[in-house]
A and B are shown apart, each in its own frame.
Chain A
Amino acid sequence: MENLLEIKNLHARIGDKEILKGVNLVIRPGEVHAIMGRNGSGKSTLSAVLAGNSNYTVTQGSVTYLGQDLLKMSPEERSWAGIFLGFQYPVEIPGVTNVNFMKTAVNEHRKQKNLPPLSAAEYLKMMREKMAYVEMDPSFSSRGVNVGFSGGEKKRNEIFQMAMLSPKLAILDETDSGLDVDALRIVANGVNRLKTPENAFVVITHYQRLLDYIVPDVVHVLYKGRIVKTAGKELAAEVEAHGYEEFE
């Protein structure tokens, strides 16, 4: 099967600080990967680089997504090609309503596929359906994007956006942080509903907790900018029990 994503010897820095020091990773359709690691190990940097955040500079290595050079694509081109980043800290955009935000995004995606924009009614129907995935109250649609949302609501909003855009590769950056058990279950259910044999997920997390709900096929440990161990889902439990000391 064709690889969805292939990362080779990826090095990246922010300012003068090198954070990724040679990451290698292959993701195939239908897979769920978990990336675990301590704060500062490079987890968020990896997700930011994949989404095209210009604050980070790639100094070495390559990333191939569906046969294309991902690093040459703009953030919006990556999104159109099917990459989605669930932010660890979703950004608040006062004044832009959730409904306007996602309608613009969905229609930009449609434009790339030469499809006409959705009518208001079609959009509303789609939005209601996807909001139900994450048990989100419809009243959120008229509020400013993430403005005044609780931590859990912001994360649900990320999963809602993912559902609206049906990505081929979704990277969830610490989606579990700041969630209570109920919110965690809702978010995980949302992800599980969206899983198909064609798409893949990268779940970035500190803890095993989320992986009880979203069961990974492969678990990686990221340590000081490199993947130091890769194994099956049992690795998550191992890390949870013994911490990251063995990798030091």
Chain B
Amino acid sequence: MEGFRYIPKKQLFDCSVSLDGARKFFVWDGHPEGLPFEERPLLDCSAEFCVSTRVGKISYSPAEISASGKATVIIPKEGEITQVISVRVSPAPLSERTVIDCPSEGKFNVVLCSHTVGQDRFSTNGIVEIRVNKGASLDLVVMQNENSLSRHESDYRIRLEENSSLSLNIVTLHAGNVTNKIHTLIAGKKASCNLNGLYLADGQQIVDTDVVLVHDAEETQSRQLFKGILDGNSKSKFDGEVVVSPSAQKTEAYQANNNLLISDQAKASSDPHLVIYADDVKCSHGSAAGSVGDQELFYMRSRGISEKEARILQQQAFAGTVLEKVAHPELRERLSRLVEKRLRGEDTLCAGCSKRCC
């Protein structure tokens, strides 16, 4: 009989994303590996991150303290891509906290990936605090690829200072039950923020997105584009609130949530809303659900593309308008390929992963 073999974690999970200038770090069940992350006491977050703005009243409350009281702190460097790969291997529930702190005036790229290895019912609560300091710009891509039994709630708490900018793209490729709460405070003048999300769900999967975005300074901009492709019995819920505070004159805010329903059983609910206290603003919001254009379909079929392939191309096109917001060309290309595989029903699941994915 073959004896028990010890398999290092690295062989269970293989990440082959080799982006030019990328530094890859693994976090195993919340424990960072290697030196670049410091474990340090909680930043004092009181009154810095907006948590709730329901019923028309703007209020801030202190950030919750994660179970461990410690955080994985990422201070990105200019000129490189920091890629943090969080892998869940043990079935015990996990609360983790990550801080991304972007120094003033720099331009930064960070990629956060979350994966599960094996078929356990992983349960993860994550808080991701993102601070984009004065004049800094952050391009952050989040890739979620977990098994169908996993439950993952991520709470993004974002604060933008003067003249800073953030582009956040969340790609939910595969997951059991995901909630992404994205609470953003645009605190400094002339700061701008792009929040984009693409979620793909089938079977019994559930993807919820909850955005609260507060413009609390003059001449700030925000653009949101969230799109979902839903098949099987999957469900998505989008709850989006944009608040423009009385002092935030000359604000521009746009929010859209569109869903493509592939099966009759899939459900998408969408509730975008605006709360505006300033008078000199440009804001819009909207949502739509449906299937896509017959004209496009006919055009493709007339070129010999079968109906099935044409529909996949259409779905890719639908997803593409979110993916094109990912600035890094190679990363965008890799994400597009993963999305295509997913749409074709080719497995992208990380169970017992020895595959090469993102």
Contact = CB atoms under 8 A, between A and B. Distances in A.
Contacts, number: 78
Contacts of B316: 95-96, 100
B320 interface: yes
Given A76-B304, A105-B305, A95 B324 contact: yes
Contacts of B319: 95
B296 A52 contact: no
Contact of A108 (B295, B304, B317): B304
Interface in B294-334: 295-296, 298-307, 309, 313-314, 316-321, 324
Nearest to A100: B313
A76 B307 contact: yes
A80 interface: yes
A53 B299 CA distance: 9
Interface stretch (A86-94, A130-138, A220-228, A236-244): A86-94
Interface residues of B, number: 23
A104 B314 CA distance: 12
A77 to B, nearest CB: 9
A54 interface: yes
Given A76-B301, A79-B301, A93 B306 contact: no
Contacts of B304: 76, 79-80, 105, 108-109, 112, 165
Given A93-B299, A95-B324, A100-B313, A76 B318 contact: no
B301 A96 contact: no
Contact of B318 (A95, A102, A144): A95
A200 B326 CA distance: 45
Instruction: Label chain B's interface by main secondary structure.
Output: helix
Given A95-B320, A96-B317, A104 B302 contact: no
Given A75-B301, A91-B299, A96-B320, A108 B306 contact: yes
B321 A94 contact: yes
Contacts of A53: 298
B303 A91 contact: no
A161 interface: yes
Nearest to B322: A95
Interface string B284-302: 0000000001011011111
Contacts of A74: 301, 307
Contacts of A144: 317, 320
Interface of A: 51-54, 74-76, 78-80, 84-85, 87, 90-91, 93-96, 100-102, 104-105, 108-109, 112, 144, 161, 165
5 nearest A-B pairs in the assembled complex, by CB-CB distance: A95-B320, A95-B317, A79-B304, A75-B301, A91-B299
23 contacts: A51-B302, A54-B298, A74-B307, A75-B298, A75-B302, A79-B302, A79-B304, A87-B299, A90-B299, A91-B293, A91-B295, A91-B296, A91-B299, A93-B296, A93-B299, A93-B317, A95-B321, A101-B300, A101-B305, A105-B300, A109-B304, A112-B304, A165-B303
Given A91-B298, A100-B316, A105-B300, 20 more contacts: A75-B301, A76-B304, A76-B305, A76-B307, A79-B302, A84-B302, A87-B299, A91-B293, A91-B299, A93-B313, A95-B320, A95-B321, A95-B324, A96-B320, A101-B300, A108-B304, A112-B304, A144-B317, A144-B320, A161-B303
